[in-house]
Structure 1
Amino acid sequence: MNRSTALAAVPLGAARHFTGTAEKLLAAAQLILPHLEAGRAVDAQALRGAMETAFGGSDAEGLWDWKSAYDACEAAQILFLRKYGNTIFLKYADPQARLAAIEKIVGLMPTHTRRSETSQALQQFSTPAGLAYVAGVAAGFQPGERMLEPSAGTGLLAIQAEIAGARLMLNELAETRAALLDLLFPQVGVTAHDAAHVHDYLDPAAVPNVVVMNPPFSAIAHVEARMKDAALRHIGSALARLQPDGRLVVITGASCAPDNPAFTDAFVALQERGRVLFSAAIDGQVYRKHGTTIDTRLTVIDRTPADDPRHFPAAPGVAPDTATLLGWVLAQVPPRLPAPDTPPPSAPLAVQAMAARPVRPAATARPIAPTPVIEGVELAYTPCVEAVPDHGNLTDAIYEPYALQSIRIPGAKPHPTPLVQSASMASVPPPVPSYRPSLPAHLVGDGVLSDAQLESIILAGEAHGEHLAGAWTVDKTWDVVTAAPDDVETAVRFRRGWMLGDGTGAGKGRQVAGIILDNWLKGRRRAVWVSRSETLHQDAMRDWEALGQERLLLTPFSRYRQGTPITLDEGILFVTYATLRSQERAEKASRVQQIVDWLGSDFDGVIVFDESHAMANAAGGKSERGDQAPSQQGRAGLRLQHALPDARIVYVSATGATTVQNLAYAQRLGLWGGEDFPFSTRGEFIGAVENGGVAAMEVLARDLKALGLYSARSLSFDGVEYEMLEHALTAPQIAIYDAYAGAFQIIHSNLDAAMRAAGSNLNSQAKSAARSAFESAKQRLGPRATTVLFGSTQCRRRAAAPARRFQACAAL
């Protein structure tokens, strides 16, 4: 038994099962083929006989099910078309005659009357052969070109491309179907990725000229709730992979239409990169043989920007049958655009994944620096499958030297300064990841990103590939999140987040830039970087530029007035927490709403909360002085996370939280209400950790690392020498300090009188603010004054020190 290429990542035992089932389905298809050749209908008795012969038993014995039997029927149609397709096309020059011949074969097949749980979960409704032919006509296959089918099913669309002489790129997530495709199309090399993210996973060099697809209408892999925009996500990823001027033909539910108000904005956004040429609804009777009568739609898109994104071709109506649909396609779908003279780039520019956002007026758009052409390559690393903590090498020290535990990255350089981690963190390795980031090759070879920093990018991508357990509803204010049944239409799934807890010197900013760059090269070209102050914008630009990127792509949010649209087509929005917390006022939307409008509710890019401990007390709590209201910054951060459930969240903080209550902002770690930790609510989590004290916090950090959700390293101080330097104040210095202290005493004694004279003593808030400003200035005086006074002694000490190759550092 040969192992399927599509099942390379599946455990060997499971792969053998799927491949064995696929081989039996192919055997059953070969037994069905003579019926089609003779023009005999394949009734239930004939189909049962073929399946029992191939599987060596009956369905009552559990050896096969009827949904698998229908897959065998579809495989038989593929075998028939491969054997007789060219003959039919040579005999009938008229496309309508060719369609009639194919529909005659379809009429011999049994009606699908039973479904499996897998087929229902993944919405496996294969394309009827007649409709597949019409889609092929709309695609205009050309010999030698590459055709991608992201959700290939059993291959009924792919066989049309093969007959036309195209080279196939097939992807199918369902294991048995993927193995069957490997047998039906042995020269292709089938992949088994989630088609909603197929652009992220395929080889960057594999760029199709045409895409033909029939994605699930409302199902997303590993998400139990129905997602009404599922088809748009599949289209967005496929369009990102398609070469410029290429063509995409997609079969969706009838409601997925430009003239449907629920999807109009998404199609407007799509037309900024791809022009909709044709869209027609199809009566549900076309799918009757495949077990459903749901109305569908055929849409044709060329990957070239529309002149007017809000203009769409007129819909011809609802086609009652495939013959009518074919007539419309022949009359209304224009010929394919000529292929560009130059070869397509290895990493094609990705479109935003159907973000439903308002069109930006061209007159107010601010030009930005042109995006440089960046080529990313998949980062190669070797998983250490047997990675376990080596307790025998742990010392009695508080900190242990840091090294990669679960992977090895060929060519990666160690961090410039040795790193350490606490002994408890060193005792557990992170899980072995499978995510492969895309980065420019020189970042690894030149040591721009160290091995520890590359590990962070890998672990973040691995965490972002999953969603938290459960379905949730979010109210209109984005404040209240409630558990919901999976079948609620408005329910959402939250994408898992990741936390970086490195200390000073580990290069947190460069790691953040690397995570954003990885997603940038995979087509997610909008990101948000939230930080503590505007002055850190320069540091963020420095880290982004260090990776070879244009620093002007980092745009401060302060450039956009509240209530005005953000006019960036792509880029990184740098936001401060103080700006983020601005509420709605004077009919101007809140700053959070402003960001959400720019990103779109379906945004799946990166949002970084740098210095995330600034969102402490996001949910309120209790203190020695009583109940504490939630902080405005914390609430704003949670609202942004709730409004964009599919965003890839990264928390960055060297301190994380001073108390467990301050971890309320880290909702995406799944610390409560999920499957990784035994706490159903935030209250249970806080109570358990508070009872455990510091030891419980250490265990929590260790468990998060073991789940691949947290990383915390710091610089090693091994070999550092400490010297206490004492400075004796001179008489003039004492006089200077006394003068400052005397001035503050005068202000302190007369502050109330000054406020009465200014008339502000009647306003309690003004009095409180004045006293707070005074005390803050007084507290700043001491450290700054002593630092200045101490400088002379420090300079003399350094000048007298012997010349050594080590750097002297002073803590003032």
Structure 2
Amino acid sequence: MNMISVSAAASATVPVPLASDADIPASVFAAAQILLPHLERGQRIDAATLRGAMEIAFGASDATGAWNWKTAYDACEAATVLFLRKYGKALFRKSASPATVLPQFAKIAGLLPTHTRRSEEAQSFQQFSTPIPLGLAAVTAAAITPADCVLEPSAGTGLLAILAEITGGSLVLNELAQTRTGLLSLLFPALSISRFDAAQIDDHLEASLLPSVVLMNPPFSVMANVESRVADAAFRHIASALARLAPGGRLVAITGANFAPDAPAWTSAYTRLQERGRVVFSTAIDGSVYAKHGTTYPTRLTVIDKLPADDPAAFPAAPGVAPDVATLLGWLAEHLPTRLPVDPAVAVPPAAPAAARSVRGYLTRAAKAAPAPAMAEPEGAPLDYETVDWSPAEGGRISDAIYEEYGLQAIRIRGSQAHPTMLVQSAAMASVAPPKPDYRPHLPGAIHALLSDAQLETVIYAGEAHADYLAGSWTVDETFDLVSAAREDAKNAVRFRRGFFIGDGTGVGKGRQSAAIILDNWLQGRRKAIWISKSDKLLEDAQRDWSALGMERLLVTPLSRFPQGKPVTLPEGVLFTTYATLRSDDRGERVSRVKQIVQWLGSDFDGVIIFDEAHAMQNAAGGKGERGDVAASQQGRAGLRLQHALPNARVVYVSATGATTVHNLAYAQRLGLWGGEDFPFSTRAEFVEAIEAGGVAAMEVLARDLRALGLYTARSLSFDGVEYELVEHSLTPEQTRIYDAYAGAFAVIHNNLDAAMEAANITGSAGTLNKQAKSAARSAFESAKQRFFGHLLTSMKTPTLIRSIDADLEAGHAAVIQIVSTGEALMERRLADLPTEEWNDVRMDITPREYVLSGTPDKT
């Protein structure tokens, strides 16, 4: 064979464990490395050789489902990429022309197995990679130079990209399929691979990126998120890529043969394309060229230069149907014009990939930064307080009011300060006092300046509750779902530690109290804790409350930093997660998030678990609704599993609306509301039935009894003396004109909404392509309209509001302003787009005008 033959000793290989979805690209890459020596020796890769390489790389056969034959063909293509990177430049140097290098490419392709099997994904996304002889023709047509920035919008396994690389171009690669993206990242480690829908690539890439060459082999008739066939799929891909191409640049596309400029079905589409760029070459190719890749469907090579055609309706004559690549190369040499000049100021080569906007990227940057001085950990000491006797007012009633002023009842804390704002509690709660505690929390000496007496009381009673266990012994199954009563001496029997419930309202400081409970245990050596909340946005609140007590804020670490199935590697810290994350079940070999947390903490964990916004676990056990039985919520079940798996944990429930209905208390098992000695209910069902029968009064009695046991506290800010007065703003004629103008603008958007959806591949000539996307688009439009006019009216009212505030301040009053929407996200987007030279003179538009501008499609 007249090809490079390099002897390569096959290195010893060791089977690896069964690959998970995330490991498939790495396993395919490993198989490619095993296959590379066969190509180097000029040995044909048959089915047995390929199977052996895949079984070594994946540690299992295809019968186990670890891999399929389409994945095996991807490994062959990846091996081809590695081979071409190693020897491709030498092949081109030794060849006088593309026609003379073609036989070598044909021999390389001949060493690879024919694709005889397809996967469901390959069929659905029409994943037919470009045969390297045809790729050679495409690269020849592109006439790539070292000055070119080459975009491949559907990069696949990199067979076209590697040819562009070895001919000197710098690459910008995009691939929608997740596995192929991972493989490309390994094959082209210096590049940052994007994952956008290539049919809209112009809308997604950075505005500064203008490739001078586009190489593409788009799907012929499928679109992302569209189940049915889309006849104009290739046109949409080409149109978007052409819009992104720099003026004077060249686009080379491999499409189905029927996508021809002179085909009646496509003449109007090509005419529209030629308003931006002129078709300079287009010819059909016999289907035999693609036979090795599993199809004999005839294809077409089309070349478009980014310069508007003199006559958009005129197209170059096709030389015919190329029976093979050699003929195609000859036609290119004969009929293809030379490339147009590209303005060097316009064609921007890809910048070095920025640090990934991910946890890993932030960690990398943090590792390179100068280390900050470590924050000294505060020293803890037992909190000094004394217990006192308390008795209700004469007659057992305090007053006829619904709420009573709150004050410490059973304790007095030396050196403590009253809460900054007057607190109240319900009359029922005020009629009883909690028991005298014995527990003394360990807190820093300066804690009195950080927590009020009411907040310190919470820390004391939480510790008091945690010092005790619920009655009875129990066994928990391996799933953590089933809990059964057991004898105290039974094997694996456990007792559950009692919990505590913070039911305070806004302004009392539930987050600060939660952080203080964790700090108390931290200073006693329990250096791991869990903080679960409703949204990942509340991570900053948790870090704020933790650092307010003198602790390092970054000790509160999000669980999202650790992929599911991977161990949490923190030696100590407060692990923050959300209920939505907590409900993630097992996925193949990746254990659930609950099990991941349990593995980090250990089954004997006795630290703190904060269930912030605990009402998110409501309906944990199911129940009855207005329309029949209601299934148990996934978040509630996940919360129960965590409580079952860690019986010794110190559980704190935090919610201002935790007991709206009795069913919503099913998650609060650690309060001992049933199956214990404090309440006369043997089962949850019996408890629910009894409380439901008593109605709201029973719920109030329940809260009072929990307060009397020292398990519950519920204080609120006092609104005593608050009066309400409406301030009316009358629209000025100018404001009325502005309102009418924007109403007219939204009318224009409304009238062109169908055209925008067609441009976004939601609808087409055949009708609706994606019903869900169409519904979402209309919903988004109406939502944006409401938000816009809400912001507009608010801004119009602001001058009157400011005058009202000024008048109040002059009268000696304090003005408290609640800002519902700050526009922070919009401001951050504007700042991100601001050039560095304008940082010293910041002028930007952060008005809701962008709702109107973004609603108008400016790219079609």
TM-score by length of 1: 0.51
What corresponds to 2:496 in structure 1?
Answer: 494
Partner AA of 1:793 in structure 2: T
1: CA distance, partners of 2:464 / 2:440: 8
Residue type of the alignment partner of 1:431: P
- 1:406 and 2:413 matched: no
Cα distance in 2 between the residues matched to 1:737 and 1:791:
18
C-alpha distance in 2 between matches for 1:667 and 1:772: 41
Deviation at 1:370, TM superposition (A): 5.4
| Distance in structure 1 (CA, Å) of the matches to 2:697 and 2:584 | 38
In 1, are the aligned partners of 2:459 and 2:516 still within 8 Å (CA)? Answer: yes
CA distance in 1, matches of 2:779, 2:629: 22
Structure 1 portions without partners, runs of 5+ = 1-364
Quick one: distance in 2 between partners of 1:772 and 1:619? 34
The equivalent residue for 2:350 is: none
Give me the whole-angstrom Cα distance separating, in 2, the residues matched to 1:679 and 1:740: 63
The CA distance in 1 between the partners of 2:745 and 2:636, in whole Å, is: 38
The Cα RMSD (Å) is: 3.2
Counterpart of 1:619 in structure 2 is 621
Q: Structure 2 CA distance, aligned partners of 1:657 and 1:748?
A: 45
| Alpha-carbon spacing, 1:772–1:518, altered in 2? closer, same or farther (3 Å) | farther
Contact map agreement 2:557 2:573 (CA 8 A) in 1: yes
User: How much does 1:422 deviate?
Assistant: 1.2
Q: C-alpha distance in 2, partners of 1:408/1:622?
A: 45
**What is the aligned partner in structure 2 of residue 332 from structure 1?**
none
Percent identical pairs in the alignment equals: 62
Q: Which residue of 2 aligns with 1:291?
A: none
| Residues 465 and 786 of structure 1, relative CA distance in 2, 3 Å threshold | farther
**Structure-2 separation of matches of 1:430 and 1:760:** 68
In the TM superposition, residue 396 of structure 1 has moved relative to its aligned partner by 2.1
Q: Give 1:593's aligned amino acid.
A: K
Q: List per-residue Cα deviations over 1:108-140 (Å, max 9, x = no partner).
A: xxxxxxxxxxxxxxxxxxxxxxxxxxxxxxxxx
1:798 aligns with 2:808: no
Q: 1:781 to 1:375 in 2, by over 3 A?
A: same
Aligned to 1:718: 720
- Give the superposition deviation at 1:749: 9.2
CA distance in 1, matches of 2:493, 2:603: 13
Deviation at 1:590, TM superposition (A): 1.1
Residue number in structure 2 paired with 1:808: 815
Residue type matched to 1:796 in 2? R
2-structure distance, mates of 1:653, 1:617: 15
Could you tell me how far 1:659 is from its partner in structure 2? Answer: 2.0
Structure 1 match to 2:522: 520
- Where does residue 202 of structure 2 map in the other structure? none
Secondary structure, aligned partner of 1:801: helix
Equivalent residues of 1:402, 1:419 under 8 A apart: yes
* Alignment match of 2:595 (pick from 572, 589, 593): 593
Partner of 1:429: 433
Following the alignment from structure 2 to structure 1, what is the Cα–Cα distance between the partners of residues 679 and 581? 34
**C-alpha separation in 2, matches of 1:708 and 1:750:** 64
Gaps of 5+ in 2: 1-365, 821-860
How far 1:490 moved relative to its partner? 1.7
Question: Is 1:616–1:657's contact at 8 Å kept on the other side of the alignment?
Answer: no
Instruction: Report the count of equivalent residues.
Output: 447
The residue identity in structure 2 corresponding to 1:682 is R
- Tell whether 2:740 aligns with 1:735: yes
1:506 corresponds to which of 497, 505, 508: 508
What SS does the corresponding residue of 1:431 show, helix, strand or coil? Answer: coil
Is the 2:377–2:551 Cα contact (8 Å) retained in structure 1? no
Q: 2: CA distance between counterparts of 1:719 and 1:810?
A: 18
* Aligned pair partner of 1:383 in 384, 387, 406: 387
TM-aligned CA distance change 1:393 to 1:732, over 3 Å = farther
The 1:634–1:477 alpha-carbon spacing in structure 2 relative to 1, beyond 3 Å, is same
> Which AA in structure 1 matches 2:421?
T
1:700: which partner in 2? 702
What is the alpha-carbon distance in structure 2 between the residues aligned to residue 709 and residue 762 of structure 1?
Answer: 56
Structure 2 letter corresponding to 1:525? R
Give the 3 Å change call, closer, same or farther, for CA 668–803 of structure 1 in structure 2.
same
Superposed CA offset, 1:481-529 (max 9, x none) = 2222222212211111101011111111111111011101111110011
Report the 3-state secondary structure (helix = DSSP H, G, I; strand = E; otherwise coil) of the residue aligned with 2:800: helix
Contact 1:493 1:645 in 2 (8 A): yes
User: Is the 2:381–2:442 contact (alpha carbons within 8 Å) kept by the matching residues of 1?
Assistant: yes
The AA in structure 2 aligned to 1:462 is E
The Cα of 1:587 is off from its aligned counterpart by 1.6
Contact 1:577–1:614 (8 Å) recurs in 2 = yes
Deviation, structure 1 residue 784: 4.5
The higher-RCO structure (CA 8 Å, 6+ apart) is: 1
The answer as to whether partners of 1:529 and 1:608 remain within 8 angstroms in 2 is yes
In structure 2, distance between residues paired with 1:457 and 1:573: 20
Equivalences for 1:127-526 in 2 at 5 Å? 372-388=376-392, 394-444=398-448, 447-526=449-528
Matches of 2:490 and 2:765, distance apart in 1 = 59
Give, in whole Å, the separation in 2 of the partners of 1:377 and 1:789: 55
Distance 1:576 1:692, change over 3 A: same
> 1:739 Cα deviation (Å)?
4.9
Q: Deviations over 1:612-633 (max 9, x none)?
A: 1111222222222332222222
Counterpart of 1:206 in structure 2 is none
Take 2:372 and 2:492, find their aligned partners in 1: how far apart are those partners?
37
| Residue 806 of structure 1: how far off its partner (Å) | 3.2
Report the equivalent of 2:667: 665
Name the structure 2 match of 1:675: 677
Q: C-alpha separation between the residues in 1 aligned to 2:634 and 2:766?
A: 30
Tell me how far apart the structure 2 counterparts of residues 740 and 421 of structure 1 sit (CA, whole Å). 51
CA drift at 1:436: 0.7
Can you list the C-alpha shifts for 1:568-617, whole angstroms capped at 9, x where unaligned?
11111111222222222142111111111110000000000111111122
- Structure 2 residue aligned with 1:327: none
CA distance in 2, matches of 1:766, 1:731: 35
Offset at 1:703? 1.1
Does the 8 Å contact 1:368/1:552 carry over to 2?
no
Q: Which secondary structure state, in structure 1, belongs to the residue aligned with residue 475 of structure 2?
A: strand
Tell me whether 576-585 or 392-401 shows the greater mean CA deviation: 392-401
Shift of 1:732: 3.1
Contact 2:808 2:815 in 1 (8 A): no
Check the 8 A contact 2:639/2:667 in 1, yes or no: yes
Amino acid at match of 1:511: Q
CA distance in 2, matches of 1:369, 1:480: 48
The answer as to whether partners of 2:377 and 2:550 remain within 8 angstroms in 1 is no
Report the equivalent of 1:315. none
Inter-CA distance 638–737: structure 2 relative to 1 (3 Å threshold): farther
2: CA distance, partners of 1:386 / 1:375:
33
Distance 1:392 1:587, change over 3 A: closer
The aligned amino acid for 2:598 is V
Shift of 1:388: 4.6
The answer to whether 1:543 aligns with 2:545 is: yes
The 3 A distance-change label for structure 1 pair 808 and 612 is same
**Contact 2:386–2:411 (CA<8 Å) still a contact in 1?**
yes
Q: Deviations over 1:736-777 (max 9, x none)?
A: 674587579669999999855499978887788777767766
In 2, the alpha carbon distance for the partners of 1:686 and 1:779 equals 42
The residue number in structure 2 matching 1:570 is: 572
Task: Pick closer, same or farther for the CA change 1:804–1:371 going to 2, 3 Å.
Answer: same
SS in 1 for 2:536: coil
Shift of 1:705: 0.6
Amino acid at match of 2:667: Y
Secondary structure of the 2:530 match is strand
TM value normalised by structure 2: 0.48
Q: Distance in 2 between matches of 1:627 and 1:740?
A: 48
